[in-house]
Every structure is written in C-alpha cells, then in structure tokens.
C-alpha cells in the first residue's frame, strides 16, 4: 500500500502594504509624546532651580505685575510669581494623575482578573455593581465623591482612581475570559498549578495588553478631571500651586486684559494632556501595526513557534508533485 501523499506547504504571505509607514507614524507619535512629557517632568523636577521665587512667596512690591523684570510671567492677584507657580504645579498635577491612574489600574485589573477567570455569581455581582457605578457621568461621579471626601492630595488620588477603575475592570475581565480558554492555560490547570499561580503566570500578563494603551490616555483625562475639580473649588487646598486652581483664580483677570495669570497654566495643562494623548495614540498605532501575535509576545504570552522545515516533494504524479488535488 502506497504511503499517503504529504500535504503541500502553504504559500508564504507577503508583507502587509503600508506596515512600514504605520510603524513610522507610531514611532513619531511616541517620540513626540515622550519629548513633551520629558520636558514637563524636567520642569517639575528642577522647579526650584528655574525660578528665584517660591510657589507661595508673596512679592510685597505689588500684585498683578505684568511679565518682565523679576517676574518672568508676572504675578497673580495675591502677588505670587506665576512662573514659579506654573512650574511647581507640574509636580502636583503630574503626581496626582499618575498616582491615581496607577491605583485605578491595580484595583480595576484585580477585580476584572478575578471576575473574568472565576466567572459565575461573583462575576455577575461585580459587573452589576460596576453597571450601577458607571450609570452616572464620570465627572459628575467625581464631583460627588470629592464633595463627600473633601479636598487634599490623597483624597483626590482616591477620587480619580475610583471613577477610572471600572473601565480597567471591564477591559481586563474581557481579556481574562478569552485567555482562560486558551490551551496553555488549560494545560497549566491540568498539570496541577494553583489558581493564583495560573492567574499570575499566564492570565494576568496576557490580559494587560489593552491596559498599556489606555493608561497613558487616561493620565491626560485624570489631569483634566483634577483641573476641573480645582476650578470648582474641590481640588488641592489654597495656596497650593495647581494648574486648574490657577486658571480659576485668574479667569476674571483675562477679561480685564491680564492674561498672564491664567493663560500660562492653561498652556502647560494643554501641553501635558497632549503629551499623554500622543503617547497613548502611539502605543495604540504600534499595537495595531504589530498585530495580536506581537502584542501577546510583548506581554509575556505564548510566542508563535518558528516555521518547521519544508515538506519533502511528493512522488512523481502525486498530488504534491503535480499540484492536482485528488
């Protein structure tokens, strides 16, 4: 009896047209966002060296002084140096935004991981609670929670993290529900690995791919939320330098022609949010360009096996040799 004909090797796929341009675009976005954020971090780190005035130091010579002289960007209605306060406010805004998003990622990912992997009544309960929480507009919920907890740096971190955690919980839950059905996860469970080991080694690394893309974008939104709360008087306590509070304090001065009290903090806030947005968009473009296989490999997931050797040619007259199917 003749041996069965070997299966012919499939054709090699050509590179996707435009993939190189997509990677270049993603690299440009990443570079632009990184440069903007690096400048903001440097300004925050070296704020005491870049200004001769303290953020709460009052110049007895006068208030609302125009830019120039000893005050690069003038003074506000309280006689405080605007340039110094803008630089020191970067510490507050960036610190609160990054800390809040980090807390939201940790708490939301933990909830989504447990709900998505275990499923059952626990999954239903957590998702219904998140539905109730997300039924209200995010900023309105932030206003309510901030009014209940009060101002202060710690409370603002908790407020912003609380209103952002449900989004991460849903993202990670959806990924965990897909990952738990993969063969390598089932093999790990069959081999006797405990639930925590499976979650930590296999499910969690393969469920964080969308989180890496959303987190930078979320940092920009967190800064806008902080600025909005401070603008409404629910932010950091006065006279702490914070961009939203500075914009609120100088809003009436702009109408009178004293633009320097609120325009500089607004521009710094805009630039920082733009930096986070460019960084997030760059990560999203790169993930779309590389594809899911590369994203899984970058997240610690199973990597595709390299192609094996080509099949030997079939005997003369066979399907493999002639290309004619039977």
Cα–Cα distance, 4 to 242 (Å, whole number): 76
Residue 220 inside a domain? The answer is: yes
Q: What pLDDT, on a 0 to 100 scale, did the predictor assign at position 300? A: 45
Residue 83 inside a domain? The answer is: yes
Query: Is the predicted pLDDT of residue 306 greater than 70, yes or no?
Result: no
pLDDT tens digit string along 168-199? 999 999 999 888 888 888 888 888 778 788 88
Q: What pLDDT, on a 0 to 100 scale, did the predictor assign at position 5? A: 53
Residue 66 inside a domain? The answer is: yes
Mean pLDDT of all residues in 95-103 = 96
Residue 161 inside a domain? The answer is: yes
Q: What pLDDT, on a 0 to 100 scale, did the predictor assign at position 27? A: 85
Q: What pLDDT, on a 0 to 100 scale, did the predictor assign at position 192? A: 77
Mean pLDDT of all residues in 257-262 = 91
Residue 11 inside a domain? The answer is: no
∠ Cα 294 299 305 (to 5°): 50
Q: What pLDDT, on a 0 to 100 scale, did the predictor assign at position 22? A: 64
Mean pLDDT of all residues in 301-312 = 46
Residue range(s) defining the domain that contains residue 288: 21-300
Residue 247 inside a domain? The answer is: yes
Domain count, the chain: 1
Percent of the chain having pLDDT more than 70? 82
Residue 321 inside a domain? The answer is: no
CATH number of the domain that 111 lies in?
1.10.3720.10
Cα–Cα distance, 123 to 134 (Å, whole number): 16
Mean pLDDT of all residues in 276-282 = 92
- pLDDT-based confidence at residue 256 (cuts at 50, 70, 90): confident
Query: Is the predicted pLDDT of residue 275 greater than 80, yes or no?
Result: yes
Q: Which two tokens stand for residue 242?
A: 């914070």
| CB contact burial 186-224 (16+ within 10 A = b; e otherwise) | eebeeeebeeeebbeebbbbbbbbbbbbbbbbbbbbbbb
Mean pLDDT of all residues in 218-245 = 92
Residue 254 inside a domain? The answer is: yes
């Amino acid at each position: 009896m003749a041996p069965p004909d070997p299966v012919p090797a499939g054709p090699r796929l050509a590179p996707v047209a435009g993939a190189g341009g997509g990677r270049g675009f993603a690299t440009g976005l990443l570079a632009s966002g990184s440069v903007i954020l690096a400048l903001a971090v440097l300004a925050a780190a070296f704020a005491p060296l870049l200004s001769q005035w303290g953020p709460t130091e009052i110049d007895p010579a006068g208030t609302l002084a125009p830019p120039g002289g000893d005050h690069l960007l003038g003074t506000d209605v309280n006689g405080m140096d605007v340039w110094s306060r803008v630089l020191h406010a970067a510490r507050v805004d960036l610190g609160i935004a990054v800390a809040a998003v980090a807390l939201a990622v940790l708490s939301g990912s933990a909830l989504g991981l447990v709900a998505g992997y275990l499923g059952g009544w626990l999954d239903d309960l957590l998702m219904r609670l998140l539905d109730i929480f997300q039924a209200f507009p995010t900023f309105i919920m932030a206003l309510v929670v901030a009014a209940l907890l009060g101002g202060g740096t710690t409370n603002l971190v908790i407020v912003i993290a609380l209103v952002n955690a449900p989004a991460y919980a849903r993202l990670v839950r959806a990924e965990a529900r897909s990952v738990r059905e993969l063969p390598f996860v089932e093999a790990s469970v069959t081999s006797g690995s405990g639930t925590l080991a499976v979650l930590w080694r296999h499910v969690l690394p393969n469920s964080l791919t969308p989180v890496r893309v959303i987190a930078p974008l979320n940092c920009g939104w967190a800064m806008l939320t902080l600025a909005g709360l401070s603008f409404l008087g629910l932010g950091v306590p006065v006279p702490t330098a914070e961009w939203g509070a500075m914009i609120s304090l100088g809003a009436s001065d702009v109408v009178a022609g004293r633009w320097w009290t609120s325009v500089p903090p607004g521009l710094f806030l805009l630039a920082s949010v733009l930096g986070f947005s460019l960084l997030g968009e760059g990560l999203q473009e790169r993930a779309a360009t590389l594809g899911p296989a590369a994203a899984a490999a970058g997240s610690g997931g199973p990597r595709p096996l390299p192609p094996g050797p080509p099949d030997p040619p079939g005997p003369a007259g066979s399907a493999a040799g002639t290309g004619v199917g039977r």
